[in-house]
């Protein structure tokens, strides 16, 4: 428990209205989007400048107080869960877009800038920021960097790490360093790649230099409905095998469709066991040529209804259902656990069959929404937290899904991160030597273990003592 000297240091940095210590004020920060976990922090500081963040980290290091940086709190794995006897450094007010350079196609932003705001700022120049998580209107770039977020279009354009060129970072000991720059070309170790996806264990990003892309000239979007998940999974494989590289291939099952219809009235085909959304984008001549191939593949895949968006409004309606699927599931169940394990595309059908079997075995409904193009599953396990033992059953089912992903040669996370939720599975996915290297690397950067303590890596059987 930090002493009065630590809080005196915070009082020198923040006025009373931005240093929160009363229980009522702290309540809003007890959890992130993974609401099954809650911890009340000792304090929350509302930083408004990079220097305030730097000074706060230095005070934490001097007094040995753990901290967690928090943006909008959209983490689905407990990544921004407070640390017991620690503080939260809230970054939402560091929300300035410092630069948009259309000639070099870069933007420099602070960590509290919302993902969608970057594309909005770049739009007048015909540019945009490609990573597009479902929470993009509210999730922040700082959080995207911490968890290497992806989105519906990651199949073609990659994850956050493929679009971060440079970083200004305050390390856990208070040192400020610059990683990378503003060019795709770099010399030496890829320190930006090391930092992106480190889940806050290496410090806090203060400025992020992002790569911008030209906005595609043309889009063609297809919605295909299937009588079975197996057919839809085979259609995904057929699209990829055809040589096409769509901007996105997304799939939703019947339960997810039901939720989307109840929430946003997307108008998806009735009676579908699954719908597939495939979108091509690029130069008009290229897209039109690829579209002919795509139509042939989809028509041969057994879809009983195929819709092609004829204008921007129809395209937006198709995507509205998919983008709103997570929140829409709240209409079907008071609580849910969402996973984001990854399996090889060739085993999608097998994975869906196993999830269906597990759903019946545990007596819990599972809605499936996923980035089908890269095998990134998003099973939403529905439960009622008011029922005794319901959360435990949901977590047990989620654990079996993650174990399945590992057994199939996949990953325990595609974009949501490890954080608290999947921490126990990391040593099951990686060997002892790998785990030792991760722990040693973290300790070399943060010897006191104060940056997001307890997330992703925890002292356990893989760590050598002495």
Whether residue 202 is found in the same domain as residue 107: yes
Asked if residue 142 belongs to a domain, the reply is yes
Whether residue 101 is found in the same domain as residue 150: yes
- Provide the residue count of the chain: 466
Give yes or no for a contact between 409 and 66, defined as CB atoms under 8 angstroms apart. Answer: no
Q: What is the largest CA-CA distance in the chain?
A: 71
Asked if residue 284 belongs to a domain, the reply is yes
Asked if residue 465 belongs to a domain, the reply is no
Residue 30: CB atoms within 10 Å: 16
Alpha helices in 218-253 (DSSP H): 229-241
Task: Tell me the three state secondary structure of residue 42.
Answer: coil
Q: What is each CA distance from 232 to 10, 154, 292, 299, in whole angstroms?
A: 55, 20, 19, 12
Straight-line distance from the first to the last Cα atom of the chain, in angstroms, rounded to the nearest whole number: 26
- Closest C-alpha to 141, from 96, 174, 186, 104: 96
Whether residue 228 is found in the same domain as residue 279: yes
What is the distance between the alpha carbons of residues 10 and 18, in angstroms, rounded to a whole number? 10
What is the distance between the alpha carbons of residues 306 and 365, in angstroms, rounded to a whole number? 27
> What distance lies between CA 90 and its chain's CA centroid?
19
- Residue 24 has which token pair? 């009522």
Domain boundary among 61, 90, 119: 90
Provide the domain limits for residue 142. 97-214
Whether residue 227 is found in the same domain as residue 186: no
- Residue 64 has which token pair? 């040995």
Asked if residue 463 belongs to a domain, the reply is no
Whether residue 416 is found in the same domain as residue 348: yes
pLDDT score of 462: 39
Whether residue 105 is found in the same domain as residue 205: yes
Specify the CATH number for the domain of residue 107.
3.30.465.10
Asked if residue 449 belongs to a domain, the reply is no
Domain boundary among 270, 292, 327: 327
Whether residue 195 is found in the same domain as residue 228: no
pLDDT score of 1: 66
Whether residue 230 is found in the same domain as residue 317: yes
Task: Tell me the three state secondary structure of residue 33.
Answer: coil
Domain boundary among 214, 245, 278: 214
Residue 250 sits at φ, ψ, to 5 deg, of -120, 150
Specify the CATH number for the domain of residue 271.
3.30.70.2190
Give yes or no for a contact between 75 and 33, defined as CB atoms under 8 angstroms apart. Answer: yes
Asked if residue 267 belongs to a domain, the reply is yes
**Residue whose pair of structure tokens reads 């705001």 in the numeric block:** 117
What is the distance between the alpha carbons of residues 216 and 219, in angstroms, rounded to a whole number? 7
Whether residue 380 is found in the same domain as residue 312: no
Specify the CATH number for the domain of residue 9.
3.30.43.10
Question: Tens place of pLDDT for every residue, the chain, 466 residues?
Answer: 677 999 999 999 999 999 999 999 999 999 998 888 899 999 999 999 999 999 999 999 999 999 999 999 999 899 999 998 999 999 999 999 999 999 999 999 999 999 999 999 999 999 999 999 989 999 999 999 999 999 888 889 999 999 999 999 999 999 999 999 988 877 889 999 999 999 999 999 999 999 999 999 999 999 999 999 888 988 998 998 999 999 999 999 999 998 888 887 888 998 999 999 999 999 999 999 999 999 999 999 999 999 999 999 999 888 888 887 777 787 888 888 888 999 998 888 889 889 999 999 999 999 998 888 888 999 999 999 899 999 999 999 999 999 999 999 999 999 999 999 999 999 999 999 999 999 999 999 999 999 999 999 875 443 444 3
Asked if residue 430 belongs to a domain, the reply is no
What is the tally of structural domains in the chain?
4
pLDDT score of 460: 47
Strand order in the sheet with 67-70: 19-20, 43-46, 87-90, 67-70
pLDDT score of 463: 46
Give yes or no for a contact between 377 and 340, defined as CB atoms under 8 angstroms apart. Answer: yes
- Closest C-alpha to 91, from 78, 106, 80: 80
Residue 294: CB atoms within 10 Å: 21
- Residue 224 has which token pair? 């295909």
Whether residue 104 is found in the same domain as residue 207: yes
Whether residue 318 is found in the same domain as residue 337: no
What is the distance between the alpha carbons of residues 412 and 415, in angstroms, rounded to a whole number? 10
pLDDT score of 465: 43
Give yes or no for a contact between 72 and 139, defined as CB atoms under 8 angstroms apart. Answer: yes
Whether residue 322 is found in the same domain as residue 338: no
Give yes or no for a contact between 459 and 436, defined as CB atoms under 8 angstroms apart. Answer: no
Asked if residue 444 belongs to a domain, the reply is no
């Amino acid at each position: 428990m930090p002493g009065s000297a630590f809080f005196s240091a915070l009082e020198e940095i923040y006025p009373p209205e931005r240093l929160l210590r009363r229980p009522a004020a702290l309540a809003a920060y007890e959890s992130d989007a993974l609401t099954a976990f809650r911890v009340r922090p000792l304090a929350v500081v509302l930083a408004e400048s990079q220097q305030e963040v730097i000074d706060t980290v230095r005070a934490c290091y001097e007094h040995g107080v753990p901290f967690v940086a928090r943006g909008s709190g959209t983490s689905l794995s407990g990544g921004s869960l407070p640390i017991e006897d620690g503080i939260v450094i809230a970054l939402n007010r560091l929300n300035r877009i410092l630069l948009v350079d259309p000639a070099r196609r870069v933007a420099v932003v602070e960590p509290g800038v919302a993902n969608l705001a970057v594309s909005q700022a770049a739009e007048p120049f015909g540019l945009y920021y490609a990573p597009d998580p479902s929470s993009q209107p509210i999730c922040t770039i700082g959080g995207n960097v911490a968890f290497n977020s992806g989105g519906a279009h990651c199949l073609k354009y990659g994850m956050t790490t493929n679009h971060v060129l440079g970083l200004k970072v305050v390390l856990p000991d208070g040192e400020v360093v610059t990683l990378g720059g503003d060019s795709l070309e770099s010399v030496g170790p890829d320190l930006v790649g090391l930092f992106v996806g480190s889940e806050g264990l290496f410090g806090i990003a203060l400025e992020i230099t992002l790569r911008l892309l030209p906005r595609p000239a043309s889009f063609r979007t297809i919605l295909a409905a299937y009588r079975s998940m197996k057919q839809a999974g085979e259609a995904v494989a057929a699209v990829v095998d055809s040589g096409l590289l769509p901007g996105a291939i997304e799939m939703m099952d019947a339960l997810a469709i039901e939720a989307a219809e109840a929430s946003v009235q997307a108008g998806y085909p009735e009676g579908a066991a699954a719908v597939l959304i495939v979108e091509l984008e690029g130069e008009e001549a290229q897209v039109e040529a690829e579209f002919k191939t795509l139509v042939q593949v989809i028509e041969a895949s057994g879809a009983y209804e195929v819709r092609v968006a004829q204008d921007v409004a129809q395209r937006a309606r198709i995507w509205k259902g998919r983008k709103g699927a997570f929140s829409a599931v709240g209409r079907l169940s008071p609580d849910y656990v969402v996973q984001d394990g990854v399996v090889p595309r060739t085993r999608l059908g097998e994975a869906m069959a196993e999830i269906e079997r597990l759903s019946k075995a545990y007596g819990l409904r599972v809605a499936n929404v996923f980035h089908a193009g890269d095998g990134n599953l998003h099973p939403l396990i529905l439960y009622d937290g008011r029922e005794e033992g319901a959360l435990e059953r949901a977590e047990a089912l989620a654990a079996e899904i993650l174990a399945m992903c590992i057994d199939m040669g996949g990953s325990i996370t595609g974009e949501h991160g490890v954080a608290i939720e999947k921490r126990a599975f990391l040593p099951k996915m990686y060997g002892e030597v790998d785990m030792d290297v991760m722990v040693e690397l973290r300790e070399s950067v943060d010897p006191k273990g104060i940056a997001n303590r307890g997330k992703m890596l925890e002292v356990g059987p893989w760590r050598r003592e002495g």
